[in-house]
């Protein structure tokens, strides 16, 4: 029934069902969760997407929309009894209007290609996740992606002005518009970051920003990670508004030097990259002030790149840190918690302590300007129980973020990875409201079901087992062990290798 | 039993809400078109829910109860050299933080810094059933859960009663300067705005006073200002009138607080983009409606004459496919023109307000 419905929409070559064809879609960048869907369809037009959603709704088949599959929280993990709607062929930039500073793109358009198309007009698209050369705008929108430069320019949400959307029952709606200032309730703002559970954005109107007249970047070195964190707090307190402020620790520096070789200072414990941009008359003066702050904050070395090529290399070292960590360890978990930026030093010291206590190496690369941590917890998946031990440490770091008044995710989203932690950050009423919203928008519960919230039956099961139990890493893992009663409900299986 | 409709505590607000079938919240009432209750609806006055609960200047964030006046917040921030970059209007008139969010009103500085939606971090609000719900957080970056804080922006008290809000703020610039430039007419002014859209120059505000006067505002280090003004004039290829100091600040406060709107006219906000300005101008010019374009002509502010029915503007905006909202005056419904959201909006409203306690959006 499902396949014949899909066959009415797509030619056979664009419906994938064989094991080999499905394999690349089994997981996204969170590779510890895998599931094989019933089929993957490769959409080439928005009409096909709408028809597919309508067919899914008619047949009660859940779907997952997928762009480039770079989610770090398992956002595009397939549903076993459902299908994947691949949007990466819908990658056109439909319109670019420099005078209005807008671009209209399809959901599969690649983030950095939007900036590339805008560059001849001295404009760029601000959100810059580290995966920007491959990640899609549709995925950025669904997870409210951030990036190093969102410190000044805001998250994806601040750059999405409007969208044509297909709701989970196939109804089409338009949200937002072209103006940077909406009128009426901010429906578009609610849709951004809804993790695919409110439908699929088919055409997205983006805000472009004018490129700065001057960009100045400085790299500073520190004797400890905590010292670097405190220096970041001092830059903020000095009233400077950097466009980006990033910190890497020794392990992350080592990984970067092992792969892209950015040429960072040798033998240091931590480094910070701070970037200012704006009018040259202002930036050149502020840069002097910044150097003074850094020197006063205990920097052991302060270095400005010689030219644009070196600046780009400094950034490449930072942006490729996640993949470079593969040079240090076969597997890792990347966390995304946020702490108040004044408590950064404290949070980093605590991560160091936890790392020692658990005997697990943790590399740190993070957005210091907004307190968004990215501890990379290194482990060897082939070792019995190593993933679970790494997850336990990850969980403790997330709880620390909540305890310090922060958040469990700054920019990667909840999806599979952190759904057991949402109830630790929010109260029952808060989560019930989110669930009510989801049920109202998608009564059939077919759009990316299983993400953000623990399945209700699992919740009930956990509660029945131990009403006071805090979510364990096993709960994060979905059905890590054999499910109680032995029946698999089609949940994703854990890949413990 | 009579239920207090001016609660001092959240629990009282919940009780008051649950005690009435039709409710509309109100802060200081500076945007009466949004806070005047339709027939059969009672006003829930939240102006008693006041006070800054948390403000850490080093963190550049604060949390305050929704009825706190913007004046109190601005004063607390100013003591620490900080400000609200979204530049909310009607501060002197007593506008509240919750009211600025509900009305979705940002001022001229939103051009560069962003609007209310870009600075709000978290909210606690009562849904239509009186349940206290928290969304977002208190840190500057957060992607956990649905972004209900943003939804509250522009919701006009129709989706929930806000009781507490968290925001991020920025350090105040050291100096301000303004250049006003008279262009040959609307086309000339719009062409110049088009050129400015892609120019490598940081403009804090860019307003158009039709037909052809542009207002350009710079902010930053005092030492850098003369050189930047000179470069700006170079890009414009014409010189303008320079303003600095106290006079400059006062001028923008008058713009922001609608001092240019006659007492018997209603303030209306319309969302648009610069390329739509000529069509709107063609419709408004013959009606002698005073108007001004803010945020690089992404907003039209209209002073809709008291003697003209709101219906007329509703039809005018519909004919152009534009959305608008009355902030003052007494229109039958504040939202005018073509609004988007459709089925998504209806479903979200039904989840937040299942018994229809608040007026329709």
Nearest to A144 among B143, B148, B159 (CB): B143
Average pLDDT over residues A347-367: 95
Residue A460: its pLDDT value, please?
57
Say how far apart CA A317 and CA A235 lie, in whole Å.
Answer: 22
Residue A464: its pLDDT value, please?
55
* Phi then psi dihedrals of residue B54, to 5 deg: -155, 130
In chain A, where are the structural domains located? 2-86, 93-210, 214-403
| Cα three-residue angle B261-B262-B268, rounded to 5 degrees | 45
What fold, for B45-171? 3.30.465
Residue A158: burial class (beta carbons within 10 Å; 0-12, 13-18, 19+): buried
Average pLDDT over residues A316-342: 91
Best of B62, B89, B133, B142 to mutate (most A CBs within 10 Å, chain A): B142
Structure tokens at A1: 């029934």
Is CATH 3.40.462.10 correct for A214-403?
Answer: yes
Residue A103: its pLDDT value, please?
98
Q: Residues of B with CB below 8 A from A288's CB?
A: none
Name the residue among A411, A270, A391, A395 with its Cα closest to residue A338: A411
What fold, for B266-337? Alpha-Beta Plaits (3.30.70)
pLDDT confidence band for A472 (50 / 70 / 90): very low
In chain B, where are the structural domains located? 45-171, 175-256, 266-337
Q: Residues of A with CB below 8 A from B342's CB?
A: 171, 173-174
CB contact under 8 A, A184 and B145: no
Measure B297 CA to nearest chain A CA, in Å.
Answer: 9
Taking 70 as the pLDDT cut, the residues of chain B under it are: 1-4
Q: Is A117 on the interface with B (CB under 8 A)?
A: no
Looking at domain A2-86, its CATH architecture is 2-Layer Sandwich (3.30)
Structure tokens at A357: 């206590």
Nearest to B132 among A278, A426, A429 (CB): A429
For chain A, give me the number of helices (H) and strands (E)?
18, 20
Average pLDDT over residues A94-115: 98
Is CATH 3.40.50.720 correct for A93-210?
Answer: no
H or E element in which residue B304 lies: strand B299-304
Q: Residues of B with CB below 8 A from A441's CB?
A: 344, 347-348, 351
DSSP per-residue codes, A417-465: TTTTTHHHHS-HHHHHHHHHHHHHH-TT--BSTTSSS--HHHHHHHHHH
CA B187 vs. chain centroid, Å, equals 27
Say how far apart CA A438 and CA A414 lie, in whole Å.
Answer: 15
Q: Do domains B175-256 and B266-337 have the same CATH topology?
A: yes
Chain B residue with CA closest to A341: the answer is B59
Nearest to A98 among B104, B110, B198 (CB): B198
CB contact under 8 A, A239 and B171: yes
| CATH number among 3.40.50.720, 3.90.1300.10, 3.30.70.2190, 1.10.287.370, domain B175-256 | 3.30.70.2190
- The alpha-carbon radius of gyration of chain B (Å, integer) is 21
Structure tokens at B104: 């979705």
How many residues are recorded in chain B?
Answer: 361
| Cα three-residue angle A248-A414-A190, rounded to 5 degrees | 110
Name the residue among B65, B7, B147, B163 with its Cα closest to residue A433: B147
pLDDT one-digit tens code per residue, A147-198: 989 888 999 999 999 999 999 999 999 999 999 999 999 999 999 999 999 9
Measure A163 CA to nearest chain B CA, in Å.
Answer: 10
pLDDT one-digit tens code per residue, B223-244: 999 999 999 999 999 889 999 9
Say how far apart CA B103 and CA A185 lie, in whole Å.
Answer: 9
* Phi then psi dihedrals of residue A250, to 5 deg: -55, -45
Say how far apart CA A207 and CA A192 lie, in whole Å.
Answer: 14
Report whether A150 contacts A126 (CB < 8 A): yes
* Phi then psi dihedrals of residue A495, to 5 deg: -100, 95
Report whether A193 contacts A139 (CB < 8 A): no
Parallel, antiparallel or unpaired: strands A200-207 and A160-166 = antiparallel
pLDDT confidence band for A359 (50 / 70 / 90): very high
Residue B141: its pLDDT value, please?
93
Mutual angle of helices B186-197 and B277-284, in 10-degree steps = 150
pLDDT one-digit tens code per residue, A30-44: 988 999 999 999 999
């Amino acid at each position: 029934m499902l396949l014949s419905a899909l066959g009415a929409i797509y030619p056979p070559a664009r419906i994938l069902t064989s094991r080999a064809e499905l394999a690349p879609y089994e997981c996204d960048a969170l590779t510890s969760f895998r599931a094989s869907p019933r089929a993957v369809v490769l959409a080439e037009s928005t009409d096909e997407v709408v028809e597919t959603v309508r067919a899914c709704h008619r047949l009660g088949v859940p779907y997952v929309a997928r762009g480039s599959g770079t989610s770090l929280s398992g956002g595009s993990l397939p549903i076993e009894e459902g299908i994947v709607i691949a949007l990466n062929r819908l990658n056109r930039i439909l319109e670019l209007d420099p005078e209005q500073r807008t671009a209209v793109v399809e959901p599969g358009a690649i983030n950095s290609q939007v900036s590339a198309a805008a560059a001849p007009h001295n404009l760029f698209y601000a959100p810059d996740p580290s995966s920007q050369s491959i990640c899609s705008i549709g995925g950025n929108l669904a997870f409210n992606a951030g990036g190093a430069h969102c410190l000044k320019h805001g998250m994806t949400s601040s750059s999405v002005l409007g969208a044509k959307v297909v709701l989970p029952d196939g109804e089409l709606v338009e949200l937002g518009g072209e103006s940077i200032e909406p009128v009426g309730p901010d429906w578009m703002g609610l849709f951004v970051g809804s993790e695919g559970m409110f439908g699929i954005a088919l055409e997205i109107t983006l805000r472009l920003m004018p490129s700065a007249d001057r960009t100045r970047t400085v790299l500073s070195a520190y004797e400890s990670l905590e010292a670097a964190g405190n220096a970041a707090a001092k830059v903020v307190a000095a009233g400077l508004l950097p466009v980006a402020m990033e910190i890497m620790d020794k392990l992350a520096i080592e990984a970067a030097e092992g792969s892209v070789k950015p040429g960072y200072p040798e033998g240091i414990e931590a480094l910070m990259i701070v970037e200012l941009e704006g009018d040259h008359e202002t930036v050149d003066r502020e840069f002097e002030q910044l150097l003074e702050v850094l020197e006063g904050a205990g920097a052991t070395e302060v270095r400005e790149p010689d030219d644009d090529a070196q600046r780009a290399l400094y950034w490449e070292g930072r942006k490729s840190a996640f993949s470079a960590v593969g040079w240090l360890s076969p597997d890792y978990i990347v966390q995304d918690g946020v702490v108040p930026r004044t408590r950064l030093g404290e949070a980093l010291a605590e991560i160091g302590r936890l790392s020692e206590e658990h005997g697990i190496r943790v590399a740190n690369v993070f957005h210091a300007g907004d307190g968004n941590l990215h501890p990379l917890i290194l482990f060897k998946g082939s070792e019995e129980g190593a993933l679970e031990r790494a997850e336990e440490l990850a969980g403790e770091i997330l709880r620390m973020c909540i305890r310090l008044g922060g958040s469990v995710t700054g920019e990667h989203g909840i999806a599979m990875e952190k759904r057991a932690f949402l109830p630790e950050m929010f109260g029952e009423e808060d989560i019930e409201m989110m669930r009510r919203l989801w049920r109202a928008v998608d009564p059939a519960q077919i759009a990316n079901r299983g993400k953000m919230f623990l399945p209700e039956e699992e919740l009930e099961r956990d509660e029945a087992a131990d009403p006071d139990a805090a979510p364990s890493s096993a709960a994060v893992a979905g059905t890590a062990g054999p499910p109680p009663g032995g029946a698999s409900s089609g949940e994703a299986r854990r890949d413990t290798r | 039993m009579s239920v207090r409709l001016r609660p001092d505590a959240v629990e009282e607000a919940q009780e008051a809400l649950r005690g009435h079938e039709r409710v509309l919240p109100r802060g200081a009432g500076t945007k009466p078109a949004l806070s005047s209750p339709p027939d059969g609806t009672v006003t829930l006055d939240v102006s008693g829910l006041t006070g800054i609960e948390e403000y850490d200047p080093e963190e550049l964030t604060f949390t305050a109860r929704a009825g706190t006046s913007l004046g109190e917040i601005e004063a607390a921030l100013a003591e620490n050299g900080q400000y609200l970059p979204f530049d909310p209007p009607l501060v002197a008139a007593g506008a509240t933080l919750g009211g600025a969010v509900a009305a979705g009103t940002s001022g001229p500085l939103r051009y560069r810094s962003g609007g209310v939606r870009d600075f709000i971090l978290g909210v606690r609000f009562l849904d239509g059933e009186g349940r206290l719900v928290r969304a977002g957080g208190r840190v500057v970056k957060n992607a956990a859960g649905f972004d209900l804080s943003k939804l509250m922006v522009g919701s006009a008290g129709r989706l929930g009663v806000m009781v507490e809000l968290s925001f991020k703020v920025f350090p105040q610039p050291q100096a301000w300067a303004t250049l006003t430039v008279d262009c040959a007419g609307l086309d000339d002014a719009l062409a110049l705005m088009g050129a400015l859209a892609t120019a490598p120059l940081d403009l804090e505000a860019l307003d158009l006073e039709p037909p052809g006067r542009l207002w350009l505002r710079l902010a930053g280090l005092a030492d850098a200002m003369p050189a930047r003004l000179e470069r700006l004039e170079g890009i414009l290829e014409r010189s303008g009138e320079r303003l600095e100091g106290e006079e400059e600040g006062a001028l923008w406060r008058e713009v922001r607080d609608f001092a240019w709107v006659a007492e018997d006219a209603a303030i209306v906000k319309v969302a648009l983009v610069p390329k739509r300005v000529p069509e709107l101008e063609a419709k408004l010019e013959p009606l002698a409606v005073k108007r001004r374009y803010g945020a690089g002509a992404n907003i039209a502010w209209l002073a809709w004459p008291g003697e003209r029915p709101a219906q007329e503007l509703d039809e005018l905006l519909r004919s152009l496919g534009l959305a608008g909202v009355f902030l003052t005056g007494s229109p039958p419904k504040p939202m005018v023109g073509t609004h988007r959201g459709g089925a998504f909006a209806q479903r979200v409203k039904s989840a937040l307000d299942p018994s229809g306690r608040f007026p329709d959006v």
